[in-house]
Amino acid sequence: MKVGKLYQIKKKYWFLYPSGELATSCAAVASEHYVESHAIYWSERLKCNVSYVCPGTLFLLLEKKDFECGCGCKILAADGQIGWIFYIHYAASDIEIQKA
């Protein structure tokens, strides 16, 4: 993934964290049936706001930090949310670059 490029989420729900460090230490993706309850769980456990972005969401990659098990990606979602997702290799095929 490259900073400044536009991407779209295909099928999964991706958790959106307030920092790259938090994103890489918690769950990356969830199914539709569990995403809301997991976002509430992580918000309470981490004492911060954890939200999520849905399938079909377009986002701009603002910043990228490489970590041992993947990378933290700061995004600006089309709905105005700003936060960090954990771009982990097993779910990488769920994000596609958008042609200009």
Q: Which residues contact 49 (CB under 8 A, 6 or more apart)?
A: 18, 43
Segments forming the whole domain that contains residue 85: 6-92
Structurally, the chain folds into a number of domains equal to: 1
Convert the pLDDT of each residue in 9-53 to its tens digit. Answer: 999 999 999 998 898 888 888 889 999 999 999 999 999 999 999
* Distance of alpha carbon 66 from the chain centroid: 14
- pLDDT value of residue 26: 84
98, part of any domain: no
Q: How confident is the model at residue 1 (pLDDT cuts 50, 70, 90)?
A: confident
45, part of any domain: yes
- pLDDT value of residue 25: 83
Cα-Cα-Cα-Cα dihedral sign, residues 36, 42, 43, 45: positive
38, part of any domain: yes
pTM comes to: 0.91
59, part of any domain: yes
Residue in 54, 47, 48, 45 with CA at minimum distance from that of residue 15: 54
Q: Look at residue 93 and tell me whether its pLDDT is greater than 80.
A: yes
99, part of any domain: no
Q: What is the DSSP string of 49-72?
A: --EEE-TT-EEEEEEEEEETTEEE
- pLDDT value of residue 98: 92
